[in-house]
Amino acid sequence: MQKNNRSNSKTEKFIFPKTPTGVEGLDEITDGGFPQGRPTLICGGAGCGKTLLSMQFLIRGITEYGESGVFMSFEEPSKDLSLNVKSLGFDLEQLKADKKLVVDHVRVERSEIEEAGEYDLDGLFVRLGYAIDTVKAKRVVLDTIESLFAGLDNQTILRAELRRLFHWLKEKGVTAIITGERGNGTLTRQGLEEYVSDCVIMLDHRVIEQVSTRRLRVIKYRGSTHGTNEYPFLIDKDGISVLPITSLKLDNSVSSDIVSTGVPGLDEMFEKGGFYRGSNILVSGTAGTAKTTIAAYFADQQCLKKEKTVYFAFEESPQQLVRNMKSIGIDLDRHIRNGYLEIHSSRPSLNGLELHLLTLRKMIKEFKPTTVIIDPISNLITVGSMHEVRSMLVRLIDMLKINNITALFTSLNKQTDNIRPDLAEESVSSLVDTWITVRDMEGIGERNRGIFIIKSRGMGHSNQVREFVIKKEGIKLLDVELGPNGILTGAARKSHELSTIVNKMKLQDELDRKDREILRKRKVLEANIETLRNDFESAVEELSILKANEGLKASASGEKNTKGKKK
């Protein structure tokens, strides 16, 4: 029994204790948060968000997890910190009044420090320990460590005190964040903090092609798995948000429900009558091929079923989109009034790729849509390279799949042959579940539109190119017309239809003539039959008369013979 107990204890999975960060997306990257009861180093250059991330870690710990905190600053006074973070909705003064937060400013001046080989942090430990005990803090932030040791030139003392500080924090059992400035060739200026820290996170602020981007990377995390890539993060009115690839294992749930395209006749081109719920659809084509119209049909269909829809428009304002769709009988304005449709319009160059993704993420969180439309994704190429656009779209599609949201993207194809994919198509075509292409089919002096399905995962689909027209009643898919040289469109279709009508009329005329001829022959035949019947009846009647006469003669002869014998 003892052996069995030992074997069971060995097979039990060890759960690494972690403290949630309160930063959206960061817990997903760190697989649960920062190491509990251990120090975490956050390093980076000026303006990359070290102080804000640390402050958000404390505030969210108090408001969401009930863990008090201590913020010890060596740079900014307490009043300046309170003012700086108030715009983000963080009320430090109220938290301090509630005895849940201690904000302490320690002023360190080089001129006041006499380095005589006896410099130590005993005074800091006493001050910090008192603050921790006052509110029973579970979270501690030291911002920044360079300011604390700025007056020391003796590297031996500096390194010894650094190690002592980190060990002291571990002994107190608090989850601590120490911020540090990035050095030349090393993560930090001292080059030691990253080695004694259990978790090291580097923040970076860069400008690429006049677009500002902040990125986060977990350098190390002792005892835990973590994401190793660079992840973009944003600072807005709600604080810091990190944009991870949320499902590296591709283990999201799927649905077998079918969602209608909303376009008359297009559902028939799919074996099951539409898209799978939660799938991603790409509608690509050249300019003027009705990509936006198809997207509006889809939005209208979803809203009619009381499905909440978010429409991202990168080329038209909401008013313009609503007006244009009314011309073909689609009333998007009623869905906006009913609360089922929200149109978000902006130029792609207004923000970086990550901010667009964050905006969509927040709208999903607040509006809770079941359908998302982005029209067009090809405009995002203007604010990022192909690699960056693909990375952003991977995050976007993954986020939509996790939430089981049906998404439709449109993409402008600049290729004239519509066969080789454009940049945006290359970025997303392999990621989407269904790919529909609309194309121009030019003839002699005319331009027609055609639609066909390139792929649709998990269901059969038509391989035909269907011509469609747009009238005031909306989109209409036309039946396939085959001619000697293939599918007929436009004037050729009309000529073929007219020829078919004429041939049908000729055939009908010939059938009518044959019917009339047969009718005449029938009448002649019936007349002949009547004549023959009359002749037959006359012959029968004549025969009857002859037989009657013969009978009379025979009767008369018999009477004469009888009289002669009597005499």
pTM of the model: 0.68
In the chain, domain spans: 13-242, 258-493
Distance CA 558, CA 565 (A): 11
pLDDT, residue 174, reads 94
Instruction: Report DSSP state, residue 273.
Output: S
Distance CA 556, CA 567 (A): 18
Structure tokens at 468: 């469609």
Task: List b or e across 2-17, with b for residues whose CB sees 16 or more CB atoms inside 10 angstroms.
Answer: eeeeeeeeeeeeeeee
Q: How many helices (H) and strands (E) does the chain have?
A: 16, 24
Fold (topology level) of 13-242: Rossmann fold (3.40.50)
pLDDT, residue 58, reads 94
CB within 8 Å of 64: residues ≥ 6 apart: 20, 22
| Per-residue model confidence as pLDDT tens digits over 472-486 | 888 888 876 655 565
Structure tokens at 173: 């059992």
pLDDT, residue 245, reads 54
Alpha-helical (H) ranges within 410-489 are: 423-428
Range 258-493 classified under CATH 3.40.50.300: yes
* Cβ atoms 306, 298 nearer than 8 A: no
Per-residue pLDDT of the chain (567 residues; tens, 9 = 90+): 344 444 444 444 556 799 999 888 898 889 889 999 999 999 888 888 899 999 999 999 999 999 999 999 888 888 888 888 887 888 899 999 999 999 998 876 555 445 444 556 778 888 899 999 999 999 999 988 777 766 566 667 777 777 888 889 899 999 999 998 876 655 665 556 667 788 999 998 877 666 677 889 999 998 888 888 888 888 877 788 887 655 445 667 788 899 999 998 899 999 999 999 999 999 998 888 899 999 999 999 999 999 999 998 988 899 999 999 999 999 999 999 999 999 988 777 666 666 777 778 888 888 899 999 998 887 776 666 667 777 777 878 888 888 889 999 998 886 544 444 555 566 677 888 999 999 887 766 678 888 999 999 989 998 888 888 888 888 888 876 655 565 655 556 666 667 778 888 888 888 888 888 898 898 899 889 989 888 888 888 888 888 888 877 777 777 666 666 555
User: Which of 322, 367, 368 has the alpha carbon at shortest distance from 345?
Assistant: 322
Distance CA 64, CA 242 (A): 18
Distance CA 104, CA 455 (A): 61
pLDDT, residue 108, reads 63
Q: What angle do CA 212, 396, 87 make, to 5 degrees?
A: 50
Q: Which strands sit side by side in the sheet containing 139-143, from one edge to the other?
A: 101-105, 69-73, 139-143, 175-181, 39-44, 199-208, 211-221, 231-236, 239-242
Q: How far apart are the first and last CA of the chain?
A: 156
- 13-242 and 258-493: same fold? yes
